Amino acid sequence: MQLLTWEPQHSVGVQELDEQHKKIFAIINRLYDAMQTTDEKKNLGEILEEMRDYCDQHFSLEEKYFDLFHYEDRESHEAQHRFFREKSREFIQTYAVDGVTLSFDVLDFLEDWWFKHINNVDKKYTKCFQEHGLQ
C-alpha cells in the first residue's frame, strides 16, 4: 500500500526535480511497507539510510541551483533542508542504532513534511528556475 502518491499537482515545473521527488516518495513507501512486514523489519535501518542519502543529494542539487541563479529565498529554504537532514540523523540514531521500533509517527512526519515542503516551499522556485532555462 502506498503512503505517498505523487500526482501532477505536486509538480515543481522542473522534470529532473519531479523525478527525484517521485523517488523520495518511493523510498518512503518502501519504509512504510517494511514496517508492516515482520520479515522486512531488519531492513528499516538500510531504508532510512538510503532515504537520508538520497534526500541529501536532492537537497544539494536544489541548493546548487539556488547558488547559480542567486535565488532570493535560498536562506529560509536551506534552513528547511537542514531541519530535515537533522531529523534523518535522529531517526537513524533512534531506529537503526538504538533499535527502537519505528513508529507510525515517523511516517506521519515524513508524509506531512514532504507534502508541505513541495507544495509550500519548493514551488516558490519554479518561476526563478524556469526563467533560468530549467524545465
Using alpha carbons, list the distances in angstroms from residue 35 to 50, 52, 59, 94, 101.
15, 17, 26, 15, 9
Q: Which stretch binds Fe ion (CB under 5 A): 19-27, 45-53, 62-70, 98-106?
A: 62-70
Residue closer to Fe ion, measured from CB, 40 or 124: 124
Distance CA 47, CA 13 (A): 28
Cα end-to-end span (Å), the chain: 31
Number of residues engaging Fe ion in binding (CB under 5 A): 2
Residue closer to Fe ion, measured from CB, 59 or 95: 59
**114 to 133: interface string for Fe ion, x by CB under 5 A:** --------x-----------
Which positions touch Fe ion (CB under 5 A)?
A: 62, 122
